[in-house]
Structure 1
Amino acid sequence: MASIRIFYQPIIRLADLRPDYAEVLARTTGADGTMGGAETVVEAMTGAERSMRLTACIMQRALDEYTEHGFAAQNLRIAINLPLDAMLHPDLVTCIELIRASSGLPTSNIRFELTERHPVHDLKAACAVITTLRAAGYGLALDDITPDMPYLPALLDMPIRAIKLDRSVVISDHPADQEFIRAMAAQAAAKGQDIIAEGIETPTLRDSLRARGVTHGQGYLFSHPLPAAGLGQYLAAGRA
């Protein structure tokens, strides 16, 4: 049976190149020690019930490590993926609050990155949960956005504090993708939102995105995914 391992990838403020968040990345490990990619976790999240339970397991483990390693004292917040279909589970908010309360962390230290791993058609219900989480003080970001993302205009109208550009858009040199980045950056700036670019691997790309109004970056230029101990070493070294 596969087990879950947790890794963290820093999200960097491009203005000062300092870590702002660490995104929680879950990976599966088989009985033989072979590690699966992100797709194996996605495949396991079929239906609201399984999606919610696996999300809760990942959140519990991440917050335990966050507390154990004292990341809050280093001014680092944590970003946890939350599938939109998991939001349709009636016990989701209660479950999140129980896990968060047991860790003793304030809601302001936690951001949920909303991902559409499976199609979600009841956007009204999803928006109600998003509004509840936002009112409780959690940060919310719309993850992996692309120009062809289903229901994108409706999702962007939800009460979110950040949007994250998918790596496929960030590394593309197609004019339509470049215009999409500019449009999203302008919209985010007008709403006072952060805009995050995934997949940054070169200083040239980092500087180009910063010039176009992107506020945060994530990618191998800054750090590969790290275990909790490695993230602690990264922060102590002051690298970004």
Structure 2
Amino acid sequence: MSDFHWVTFLRVCFPDIIAAADRRFPAMPGADIWRFCPTQRLGPEGIPSYASDVWCGMAVFDDEEAARAAFDDPQAHLPFLAEAENVWVALAVPFAHRGAVKWRDAVETDSALRVCRTPPEGTLAVVTSAGFDADSAVPMARRLDFARGVEAVLKGYAEAPGNIFRDVGNGAGVDGRDGLTLSLWDSDAAMVQAAYKPGVHRGQMDGHFGDAMFDRSSFSRFRVQGMRGDWGRAAAAA
């Protein structure tokens, strides 16, 4: 076991929309954490559909060898990828992780990922998450505000200097665990400018601090060690 986790990210474009309620994909073999979630698509009333033709994945491994094997040949580990029109995959090392997240059976705070204290060089990848407790007091209106806010942030990132890729996988409709937002940046400074300086994301954060839109959240930072394939097209409209 490595002192820190190794991570394989995936973005998969299928030829048709797949609903999480209709299809349960097998987990990545050997992964300590496995998230595979449909890209968020909001219906007319702003309610997530939990169905998409684009799905985002994150496989967290205890050692480099297993992560590299999944990166080198993801279809050998996940045969259903043969159904896809496009598969993008990346290998990364986490170097920062804070917050509360439910990616396993229970909520973990500041401990879901083991991070590398002296990370290698590489493109910056950022994963964020948000979730709701079973007895959450956050009203539905605020939850929908959050879902719409995620859409706005992704659009804002698409126009931000230095952003390479961005998408969100909604996990609640898959297995009740938290999903993830994945973004890649050509520099740390570009990410900080887009996420924390005045703008769409900072406005959403301020709105949450004023009136909560979710019960827990986390953010993690990674150094990408390799990428394969094209990011692919945007998800079909809801």
Q: TM-score, normalised by structure 1?
A: 0.32
The structure where helix makes up a greater share of residues is 1
The structure where strand makes up a greater share of residues is 2
Q: TM-score, normalised by structure 2?
A: 0.32
The answer to which structure, 1 or 2, has the higher relative contact order (CA under 8 A, 6+ apart) is 2
